[in-house]
Structure 1
Amino acid sequence: MGFLNIFIVALMPVLKVILMTGIGFFIALDRIKLLGPEANHHLNNIVFYVLSPAIAASSLAESITFQSFITLWFMPLNILLTFVFGSILAWLLIKITKTPKHFRGIVIGCCSAGNLGNLPLIMVPAVCEEPNNPFGDPSVCSLLARPYASLSLAMGGILIWSYVFGMMRLYTNEGTENETPSETVAVSSTELAVLPSTNAHTISMHPTPSDAKIIKMSAWKKIMQQMKIISKKVDLKKVFAPTAVAAIVGFIIGIVSPIRKLMIGNRAPLRVIDSTAYMFGEAAIPCMTLIMGANLLRGLKGSEVSRSVIIGIIAVRSILLPALGIGVVMAARNWGLIASENKLYQFVLMLQFAVPPAMAVGTMTQFFQLGQCETSVIMLWTYVVAALSLTLWSTFFMWILA
């Protein structure tokens, strides 16, 4: 295939996303008021609690079997690597830009968590539907596209609502509270109280067996106190968010053969449950994309986020991570971790590094009531740039794979 033909194939799904986002943007305008702040909030809750879990559960239950999961084992590791590399680059960005403490969680979230849900679910099947796609017969390609995109959605949702949510919550609390110093002082005074006849110099220079035991106990107390602090800050109800729980349920249904036979298939006794979840799931992608467009409108109103932070996040998500993704996938192929002949699978793995930040980061800021305007500005500019960068990277991915 020529480079221009591949570019057109890559452009089509991105245009679909742009059009759907544009509609969400338009109906959120003050003159239209179909998706104003209150309506957006309610629709966001419906997506969070109903539609997104439905698409995660139904897609995985129908698409993933035990054999296919064994075949696709590298994808969860690949997604984990996108979070790891994104977090490392976020730390560097925070140090360079001297980001305020309360805003660091948002920077880490935007750099580490990509839109692994609705974008792959739209883009990968759309690429397969193009007659000139480099992945072979459109019908066969489309059959493979759904499990790839579904697994991406599920694994991304689990990591976003566990790792990213936990990080954002920790940094939000760190910016508003100052618990650690006082607790550290309390621990130190307790340690001194149990050593009335000794001092720090004596213990360090001439330790006795009883002194060593006391030091071990005090160190253990410090560890336990830190664990208590972290457990107070991490909300397990949010870590096990509806989408993450639904993904786990979908895995179990798809992989466990007896349960699968009960619920999946035209002759399954409980197929009505799966078909109902599938109907709800079909509404998830349009609604998520409409919300994305409405949230981008807030970014036009501006915020106090610095340009250096915005440019840094764009560079991480649109330049550095996609380049790293090529290296990861190529290395995995050379080491025999993924099948060299499965080009569509490799394309999806690379795409996971190139997508813009997850819109769930904006949802999390609504939970915390902190940094909503800043996140909207970041999302606005990253998605504007992604319209071009995602097309170019997708074209390049398909070109090197073809």
Structure 2
Amino acid sequence: MGFVDLFLVALMPVLKTLLLTAIGLILALDRINLLGPSARNSLNNLVFYVFSPCLMGAYLAETVTVQVMMDMWFMPVNILLTFIIGSILGWILVKITGAPHNLSGLVIGCCAAGNLGNLLLIVIPAICHEPNNPFGEYSVCIAEGAAYVSVSMAVGAIYIWSYVYVIMKISAEKSNRGIQPGGDGSHHSIVSIRSANLPSDGSNTQLLLSKVGPLPMLDKMKKFSTDLLVKLRTVDLQHLLAPTTIGSIIGLIIGVVPFLKHLMVGSSAPLRVGYSTAEILGGATVPCVTLIVGANLLRGLRRSGVSALIIIGVIVVRYIALPLLGIVIVRTAHHFGMVGNNPQYQFVLMLQFALPPAMTIGTISQLFEAGEAECSVIMLWTYIVSALALTLWATYFMSLVS
């Protein structure tokens, strides 16, 4: 296939995503107000507690087997590398731009976590629908792609709620201590309540360090690592085991246990009505989430409370640095036999490095009441740029593997 053909194949899913996003933005306008704050909140709760867990469970139950998990063992490692490398680049960006403390966790989170679920659910099937796609006929392409997307969604959700959540929690609590050093308890946010449960020696150490002055770079990195380990011990299990994660675990168990799979999945399965119901509910996830994304972007159009340098930095990290490193990592893994010869699998692994920030970042920022408006601005510009960046990278990735 030529470059133009590959470009058109990659462009179609991005255009579909943008059209759905534009509809969400229009529905949130004051004149229409079908997706105002209250409606958006209700729809977001439906997605979080019902649609997304059903989608995860249904996808994993149908597509995952023990053999599939063995064949895709490198994908969780690949996703973890996107998070670690992205967070390191985000931390460097925070130091270069001098981002305020209340935004440092947000910036690092946007650089670390890509949209590994909802966007891939649109991109992969749309590419498979194209007659000139390099991954074979539709039935084969969509069957393999569904397995890759389901594992990507499940692993990404677990990493976000166990890794990015902790990083943003550290940033929010530091910002809160800066505003209320006395900690008199007058601030009733989740952040201040949870920070009161931290060991007193950690707080005293931070107060002493703040009096000493600027620390050398190595000492700052050691201090950040220590804070991260402390927070990992205090992760709220309720948020780590979010509904999406629970749905992923249930779907994974059904998929890898043959008896349960025959019991629930398939046209002759005795309990197929339960799986069919979950599949129908899960089908609402992608359109609803994309509409919510568009509605949330309206706040970004109305307010620009974040530095242009930070926005440009996040764009550079997500659409230049990470994709280039992703090519090196995936091609190196393929060279040493850690990744098979399946071109679609290699394509998905590379694409995981070139995605815009995960929309879950907005949910976490709302949870800590820190950087909500700034998050909307970053999401607005990163998703606008993704129309061109994601198309170009997808085109190039397909040319590499085809």
Give the shorter-chain TM-score range. 0.7 to 0.9
Between the two proteins, the alignment pairs up a number of residues equal to: 364
CA distance in 1, matches of 2:203, 2:23: 55
Q: Would you say 1:317 and 2:335 are equivalent positions?
A: no
Letter of the structure 2 residue corresponding to residue 170 of structure 1: I
TM-score by length of 2: 0.87
Q: Deviations for 1:194-236, whole angstroms, at most 9, x for unmatched residues?
A: xxxxxxxxxxxxxxxxxxxxxxxxxxxxxxx989963785322
CA distance in 2, matches of 1:227, 1:372: 22
Letter of the structure 2 residue corresponding to residue 359 of structure 1: M
CA distance in 2, matches of 1:227, 1:360: 20
Q: Would you say 1:171 and 2:189 are equivalent positions?
A: no
Letter of the structure 2 residue corresponding to residue 236 of structure 1: L
SS of 1:300's equivalent? Answer: helix
Q: Deviations for 1:308-367, whole angstroms, at most 9, x for unmatched residues?
A: 111100100111111111111100110001112x10111111111001000010111111
Q: Is the 8 A contact 2:166 2:232 kept in 1?
A: no
Structure 1 residues 247 and 306: alpha-carbon distance in aligned structure 2, compared to 1, 3 A threshold: same
CA distance in 2, matches of 1:77, 1:323: 17
CA distance in 2, matches of 1:382, 1:162: 24
Q: Would you say 1:86 and 2:104 are equivalent positions?
A: no
2:247 equivalent in structure 1:
246
Structure 1 residues 316 and 183: alpha-carbon distance in aligned structure 2, compared to 1, 3 A threshold: same
Structure 1 residues 140 and 101: alpha-carbon distance in aligned structure 2, compared to 1, 3 A threshold: same
Q: Would you say 1:261 and 2:262 are equivalent positions?
A: yes
CA distance in 2, matches of 1:367, 1:186: 26
2:303 equivalent in structure 1:
302
1:73 equivalent in structure 2:
73
Structure 1 residues 186 and 150: alpha-carbon distance in aligned structure 2, compared to 1, 3 A threshold: closer
1:195 equivalent in structure 2:
none
Structure 1 residues 186 and 11: alpha-carbon distance in aligned structure 2, compared to 1, 3 A threshold: closer
Segments ≥4 residues shifted beyond 4 Å: 178-182, 184-187, 225-229
Select which of 192, 201, 209 maps to 1:183. 201
Structure 1 residues 275 and 245: alpha-carbon distance in aligned structure 2, compared to 1, 3 A threshold: same
Q: Is the 8 A contact 2:166 2:231 kept in 1?
A: no
CA distance in 1, matches of 2:203, 2:359: 40
Q: Deviations for 1:171-197, whole angstroms, at most 9, x for unmatched residues?
A: 11111025789636979xxxxxxxxxx
Letter of the structure 2 residue corresponding to residue 314 of structure 1: I
Q: Is the 8 A contact 1:162 1:240 kept in 2?
A: no
CA distance in 2, matches of 1:226, 1:84: 16
CA distance in 2, matches of 1:60, 1:182: 43
2:187 equivalent in structure 1:
none
Q: Which range moves more in the overlay, 347-356 or 156-165?
A: 156-165
SS of 2:339's equivalent? Answer: coil
Structure 1 residues 185 and 28: alpha-carbon distance in aligned structure 2, compared to 1, 3 A threshold: closer
- Same amino acid, percent of matched pairs: 54
Give how far 1:32 is off: 0.7
SS of 1:304's equivalent? Answer: coil
Q: Would you say 1:45 and 2:51 are equivalent positions?
A: no
The correspondence of residues 211-226 of structure 1 with structure 2, limited to 5 A, is none
The correspondence of residues 286-297 of structure 1 with structure 2, limited to 5 A, is 286-297=287-298
Structure 1 residues 67 and 378: alpha-carbon distance in aligned structure 2, compared to 1, 3 A threshold: same
Q: Is the 8 A contact 1:25 1:297 kept in 2?
A: yes
Q: Would you say 1:104 and 2:122 are equivalent positions?
A: no
TM-score by length of 1: 0.87
Give how far 1:258 is off: 1.6
2:25 equivalent in structure 1:
25
Letter of the structure 1 residue corresponding to residue 238 of structure 2: K
CA distance in 2, matches of 1:394, 1:186: 49
CA distance in 2, matches of 1:382, 1:265: 40
Q: Give the aligned CA root-mean-square deviation in angstroms.
A: 2.0
Structure 1 residues 184 and 24: alpha-carbon distance in aligned structure 2, compared to 1, 3 A threshold: closer
